[in-house]
Amino acid sequence: MVERLSALVIGAGPAGLMAAQELGRAGVSVVVTDAKPSVARKLLMAGKSGLNLTKDEGFDDFLHAYGDAAPVLRPMLRQFGPDQVQDWAKALGQDLFTGSSGRVFPKAMKASPLLRAWLGDLARLGVEIRPRWRWVGWNGTFGFDTPDGRRDLHPDICVLACGGASWARLGSDGAWAGLFGPGDLSPFRPANMGFIVDWSDHMRPHFGQPLKNIALHAGDRAVRAECVISKRGLEGGGIYAVSRDLRNGAALYLDLLPDLTVEDIRTRLTRTDPKQSVKNRLRKALKLDPAKLALIMECARPLPADIAPVLKHLPVPLVGPRPIDEAISTAGGLRFDALDAGLMLKTHPGTFAAGEMLDWEAPTGGYLLTGCLATGRWAGRAAAEYLQQRSASTPR
């Protein structure tokens, strides 16, 4: 038996919930399905270390983080960018604060208070959420594997918000891609991921140590941020910020002393006893911590007589990115040229798409979540307008 619906949203992450919110506000009856037992699992996981909602910066700088997808996303982020995300969170009762880097967080830090308030709003709008409903096919209807067996839904409109292909245990496994033709998709690739380095045993004591007050250079991109030495390589926000360039083949160089020039470094080193070891001279003259010193010994041997330029441009030999399921997010997914301006699939009128399943990527720091919310809102509004136009044109 096929169940008829006004609106269906597949995927209960931030993009799907935002689409459901906009449909509900438009007076549309909405059912949201999700393959997992509970909603927004990736959002909750991200919130464990502090939920970075967005970044408070100028719109052009903010938009630049989206790279090649920026022109397509511009109108969506213009309508629901950093300012609007903050207003939305405040309307859900969340007090916010902005860190020194411009990143915006709830004062509670965790995602759970915001999510509870959001789900309460959705319930008041009449949105129904059906967990453990996995989308498995479509052929005139949308088929699901559910706790009660196979179920088929026939909605008037649908918003797909199925996520990317990372963190499969949280629901983003990319399995939905098998339901589309290859011409609709760009291949999935890891984004915001760590990179493998084949460390020598010399580095073992420094696993887990942060590299603070550094700048990372990859191709034309340079960021001042931290990263972490792990037993598998380098991880953390700084690496994530340049991961797109590294994935595309750029080499990684670290500036271990971004506040000093090469000449500053040389001058300080001349004040040390040349009879001492290079390691001791670096430690005393430049106050380098053990992790940085170890990295120099790992990556710069044999040490040149003039080591100052190396400290400003230390090459780190990367083997490659960590596997896609360890990535925070993915590039690839539904191509924008398979969608119209309202994010409706050209081959499936009445079916829209949003969130990480679209072919865009952005660094961590609030850009990912804002992009998901903005595209979910855009798709939800476009779907509601489509339904309204369809109803108006249907003879009574």
Residue with tokens 């997992």: 36
What residue ranges do the domains of the chain occupy?
Answer: 2-190+327-393, 195-321
pLDDT digits 0-9 by tens, 356-396? 999 999 999 999 999 999 999 999 999 999 999 988 877 65
Tens digit of each residue's pLDDT (9 = 90 or more) over 114-135: 999 999 999 999 999 999 999 9
Q: Which CATH number fits domain 195-321: 3.40.50.300, 3.40.50.10580, 2.40.30.10, 3.90.320.10?
A: 2.40.30.10
* Superfamily of the domain at 2-190+327-393: FAD/NAD(P)-binding domain (3.50.50.60)
The predicted structure's pLDDT at residue 396: 57
Please state the pTM of the whole predicted model.
0.94
pLDDT of 84 reads: 98
> Which residue ranges in the chain fall short of pLDDT 50?
none
pLDDT, position 395: 64
